[in-house]
């Protein structure tokens, strides 16, 4: 390098020195000046933001009692809802409780429960909807009273879908029987989806396979109609 330097002319040596100075300036800016400027800007921003954070925290501290009051109120409302939820720690047990409520209401109104089928539970935030599909039979007034009784029950019950069909049999005419023809009372078959609700255990998500029907297969998805 020494011999190479000695061979260079004064002009070439000047150009080399200028190149070295330029390289040092570029490296100095890249490794020293830019990080220093960025650090300075960050410190400046922090100085401007910290008072805002402090003021925000002070506002929260001033609202501590109000927030605690709202929290206790929410807990009380949630506690009051437990009385209208279905019993049971698991969806199958809760579905059984819902079937018992249905059977009791049907027996009270003289309605025959023909079939019941447990559908898949559906998570809804902190609650889980427990639906069952039911087919009942009875007179018009009996079925109407059953639906009214379910919707006004102590538990929170919702009828998501209702399909009604008539089993009316026409009376025989007076000319054929020779007696007064009296039309029999109209019989009805009603198919409905009845749902109740339970609390979803924390850290214990609902397993949809627990809502299987008796044949071991998942029931087909039912479209809800409001």
Domain ranges of the chain: 10-62, 85-172+182-211
The 10s digit of each residue's pLDDT in 162-182 is: 998 887 655 544 444 444 444
Q: What is the DSSP string of 28-78?
A: HIIIIIHHHHHHHHHHHHHHHHHHHHHHHHHHHHHTHHHHHHHHHHHHHHH
The 10s digit of each residue's pLDDT in 102-154 is: 999 999 989 999 999 999 999 988 889 999 999 999 998 999 999 999 988 88
Q: Classify 85-172+182-211 by CATH class.
A: alpha beta
User: 127-139 and 158-166 as β-strands: parallel, antiparallel, unpaired?
Assistant: unpaired
As a whole number of angstroms, the distance between CA 37 and CA 51 comes to 22
CA-based nearest residue to 192, from 173, 154, 165: 165
pLDDT value at 224 more than 70: no
Residue ranges in the chain assigned as alpha helix (H): 2-7, 10-28, 34-62, 64-81, 91-109, 140-151, 174-177
């Amino acid at each position: 390098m020494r011999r190479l330097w000695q061979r260079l002319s004064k002009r070439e040596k000047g150009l080399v020195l200028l190149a070295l100075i330029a390289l040092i300036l570029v490296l100095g800016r890249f490794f020293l000046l830019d990080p220093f400027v960025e650090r300075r800007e960050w410190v400046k921003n922090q100085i401007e933001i910290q008072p805002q954070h402090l003021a925000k925290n002070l506002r929260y501290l001033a609202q501590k009692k109000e927030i605690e009051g709202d929290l206790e109120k929410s807990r009380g409302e949630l506690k009051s809802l437990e009385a209208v939820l279905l019993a049971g720690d698991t969806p199958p047990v809760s579905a059984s409780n819902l079937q018992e409520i249905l059977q009791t209401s049907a027996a009270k109104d003289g309605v025959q429960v023909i079939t019941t089928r447990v559908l898949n539970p559906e998570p809804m935030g902190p609650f889980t909807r427990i639906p069952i599909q039911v087919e009942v039979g009875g007179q018009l007034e009996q079925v109407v009273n059953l639906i009214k009784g379910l919707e006004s029950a102590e538990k929170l019950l919702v009828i998501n879908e209702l399909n009604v069909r008539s089993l009316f049999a026409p009376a025989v005419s007076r000319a054929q029987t020779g007696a007064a023809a009296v039309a029999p009372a109209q019989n009805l078959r009603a198919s409905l989806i009845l749902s109740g609700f339970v609390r979803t255990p924390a850290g214990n998500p609902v397993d949809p396979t627990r809502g299987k029907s008796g044949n071991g297969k998942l029931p087909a998805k039912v479209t809800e109609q409001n």
